[in-house]
Amino acid sequence: MSTPIDLSTLDAPRIRAAIAAGEFTAREAAQAGLERIEALDGAVHAFNQVTPDLAFAAADRIDALVAGGAGADELPPLAGVPVAFKDNMNLIGTNTTCSSRILENYQSVYDCTAVARMLDAGAVPLGKLNMDEFAFGSSTENSAFGPTHNPWDTDRVPGGSSGGSAAAVSAGMAAITLGSDTGGSIRQPGALCGVVAMKPTYGRVSRYGCVAFASSLDQIGPFSKTVEETALALNAICGKDSMDATSVTRPAEDFTEGLNDGVKGMRIAIVRDMLEMEGVAPEVKASTLAMAEKYAAMGAEVGEVDLPSAQYGLSAYYIIGPAEASSNLARFDGIRYGHRVKDAEDVIDLYMRSRAEGFGPESIRRIMLGTYALSAGYYDAYYGQAQKARTIIIRDFERAFADYDVLLTPTTPTTAFKIGEKSADPLSMYLSDIYTIPVNLAGICGLSIPVGLGADSGLPIGLQLMGTHFAESTILRAARALEADLKFDTTPPVVRNLGA
Partner 1 sequence: MSKDRLLEVLERWEPVIGLEIHTELTSTRTKMFCGCEVAFGGEPNTRVCPVCLGMPGALPVPNQYAIEQTVLAGLATECTIAPHSLFHRKQYFYPDMPKDYQISQYDQPFCEDGQILVEVDGGGVAQRLDVADGTGVTPAEDGSYTARIGITRIHLEEDTGKMVHVGGSEGRLAGATKSLVDFNRAGTPLIELVSEPDIRTPEEARRFAQKLRLIWLSLGISDCSMEEGSMRVDGNISLRKRGTVEFGVKAEVKNMNSFKSLHDALVYEILRQAELLDSGGTVVQETRHWDVGAKRTSALRSKEAAHDYRYFPEPDMTPFEFSEEFIDGIRQRLPELPDAKKIRFMATWGLPVHDATVLTSDLEMAEFFEAAVTIGGAERAKPIANLMLNDLAAHLNAAGISVTASKVVPAMVDELVALVEEGTISGKQAKDVFTEMAETGDAPGAIVEIRGLKQVSDTGAIEAVVDRIIAENPDKVEGYRSGRTGLMGFFVGQVMREMGGQANPAVVNEVLGRRLSS
Nearer to partner 1, 36 or 340 (CB): 340
Nearer to partner 1, 4 or 242 (CB): 242
139 catalytic, yes or no? no
Binding to partner 1 by residue 112, rule CB under 8 A?
Answer: yes
* Residues within window 123-152 making contact with partner 1, judged by CB under 8 A: none
What is the phi-psi region of residue 462: left when phi exceeds 0, alpha when psi lies from -120 to 50, beta otherwise?
beta
Binding to partner 1 by residue 92, rule CB under 8 A?
Answer: no
- Which candidate, 468, 485, 451, places its Cα nearest to that of 288? 451
Binding to partner 1 by residue 435, rule CB under 8 A?
Answer: no
Nearer to partner 1, 333 or 483 (CB): 333
Beta sheet of 301-305, edge-to-edge order: 47-50, 124-129, 82-86, 176-181, 219-224, 196-199, 445-453, 460-467, 406-410, 267-271, 301-305
From 139, 161, 432, 448, the catalytic residue: 161
Binding to partner 1 by residue 98, rule CB under 8 A?
Answer: yes
State the pairing for strand pair 445-453/196-199. antiparallel
Nearer to partner 1, 84 or 103 (CB): 103
- CA separation, residue 309 to residues 213, 328, 389 (Å): 24, 28, 8
Nearer to partner 1, 295 or 383 (CB): 383
Binding to partner 1 by residue 318, rule CB under 8 A?
Answer: no
Q: Which of 323, 437, 447, 478 binds partner 1 (CB under 8 A)?
A: 323
Give the CA count within 13 Å in the CB-facing half-sphere of 477.
23
Separation CA 258–CA 474 (nearest Å):
9
Binding to partner 1 by residue 359, rule CB under 8 A?
Answer: no
From 86, 225, 294, 422, the catalytic residue: 86
- Which candidate, 95, 19, 482, places its Cα nearest to that of 263? 482
326 catalytic, yes or no? no
SS3 331: helix
At 196, phi and psi to the nearest 5? -80, 135
Q: Which of 315, 371, 385, 391 binds partner 1 (CB under 8 A)?
A: 371
SS3 150: strand
Separation CA 293–CA 56 (nearest Å):
47
State the pairing for strand pair 267-271/196-199. unpaired
* Residues within window 337-356 making contact with partner 1, judged by CB under 8 A: 337, 347-348, 351
Nearer to partner 1, 56 or 378 (CB): 378
Binding to partner 1 by residue 1, rule CB under 8 A?
Answer: no
* Residues within window 226-245 making contact with partner 1, judged by CB under 8 A: 242-245
For partner 1 (CB under 8 A), the number of binding residues is 44
Could you tell me the smallest distance in angstroms from the CB atom of residue 109 to partner 1?
Answer: 6
113-125 CB burial, b ≥16 within 10 A, e <16: bbbbbbbebbbbb
Draw the binding track, 186-225, toward partner 1 (x: CB under 8 A; -: no contact).
---------------------xxxxxx-xxx---------
185 catalytic, yes or no? yes
Separation CA 359–CA 332 (nearest Å):
9
Q: Which of 64, 67, 240, 379 binds partner 1 (CB under 8 A)?
A: 379
State the pairing for strand pair 219-224/196-199. antiparallel
Nearer to partner 1, 194 or 360 (CB): 360
Helix (H) or strand (E) holding 139: none
Nearer to partner 1, 151 or 443 (CB): 443
Binding to partner 1 by residue 409, rule CB under 8 A?
Answer: no
Most distant pair of Cα atoms in the chain: their distance: 70
Could you tell me the smallest distance in angstroms from the CB atom of residue 377 to partner 1?
Answer: 9
Could you tell me the smallest distance in angstroms from the CB atom of residue 183 to partner 1?
Answer: 15
From 100, 162, 185, 363, the catalytic residue: 185
Binding to partner 1 by residue 90, rule CB under 8 A?
Answer: yes
Binding to partner 1 by residue 380, rule CB under 8 A?
Answer: no
- The amino acid sitting at 428 is S
Other Cβ atoms within 10 Å of 50 Cβ, number: 20
| Residues catalogued as catalytic | 86, 161, 185
Q: Contact positions toward partner 1, by CB under 8 A?
A: 88-90, 96, 98, 103, 106, 109-110, 112, 207-212, 214-216, 242-246, 323-324, 326-327, 330-333, 335-337, 347-348, 351, 371, 374-376, 379, 383
